[in-house]
Structure formats: C-alpha cells, structure tokens
Amino acid sequence: MEIIDYKPEYQIYFKDLNLSWLEEYFTVEPFDQYAFDNPQEAILKDGGRIIFAENEGEIIGTVALKYVKPGVFEMAKMAVRKDVRGLGTGKLLCNSIIEIARNMNAEKLILYSSKQLRPAIAMYLKLGFIEILLEPGLYKRADIKMELVL
C-alpha cells in the first residue's frame, strides 16, 4: 500500500469514496458536496492537502487536511472503500496526514466525527486524539470533536 498526493484526476475518487460512506450512515450535507465538487477551492487553496491510499493500482482510501487557522488544521473527509476496511488503510492514512501536519508546523489537529462510527473513534483514540468540547451546528452528523496536540 502506498500514500499518494492529490491530482485533479483523483477528484472522482475523493468524491466517490466519501459519498459512499456518507450515504451509508448519514446524509450528504451541502458543504460536503461543495468540497467533493471543488476540492481545490474548499481544501487545497488555503494550504490544505488531500492524500490517497493506493493498493495494487487501485485507490482505496482518502483523507484531507483542511486549514482552520494559524497552527490548526482539521483532519476531514476520511474514507476507506468498504471492501477493504479493517486492513489498516485508515490508520495509514491518519498517520500520514498527522506527519504532513507536523511537517507543516501545525500545533494541533482537530476532527469532527460521530460516536456511531465506533471503529473510527477507537482508532483516533489510539492515535492520541482526545475528546474536546463540540461547538454546536458545524456538522449535523457530528456528535464528537477530537484534538491531537502535535
């Protein structure tokens, strides 16, 4: 398995992987759709990154690093293809994006999730994220906010 950077031709994978899991568990919110259709504008233009996990020539996962404010980035839009979940792809993506954030001199990484996604929450805790106060209204599906001090 290899981690590769975003290229415009990978936008369809970013969109499809995320839509797949969102539609499985929740509903796609307008800002999600905007990010999937316009990753350059929504994520990359402010210094964010999008990476992918590639295995045997196939894109099987993705995650984004979105600029929030000086020193703070959000780990967002993480998705792993359903048929390869549980094989370490999510952990590899998370560790890779954490390393990228450190190399960008980020001080902390935040994420929003849902407690319904128990395997993801367990992984985030193992990676050192802690639960912090969730501000209301940002994401309808989010019922937990986590932070990793880098």
DSSP secondary structure of 65-95:
EEEEETTEEEEEEEEE-GGGTTSSHHHHHHH
**Residue 138 predicted with pLDDT over 80:** no
Percentage of the chain modeled with pLDDT above 70: 99
For position 122, what pLDDT does the model report?
Answer: 95
Quick count: other Cβ atoms within 10 Å of Cβ 126? Answer: 10
Q: How confident is the model at residue 30 (pLDDT cuts 50, 70, 90)?
A: confident
Structure tokens at 66: 């979105």
pTM above 0.85, yes or no: yes
Pick the CATH number of 2-149 from 2.40.40.20, 3.40.630.30, 1.20.1580.10, 3.40.50.720: 3.40.630.30
Structure tokens at 133: 């106060």
Over residues 47-64, the pLDDT tens digits come to: 999 999 999 999 999 999
The rounded distance, in Å, linking the Cα atoms of 147 and 44 is 21
Domain assignments of the chain as residue spans, ordered by start: 2-149
CB-CB contact of 10 with 18 (8 Å) = no
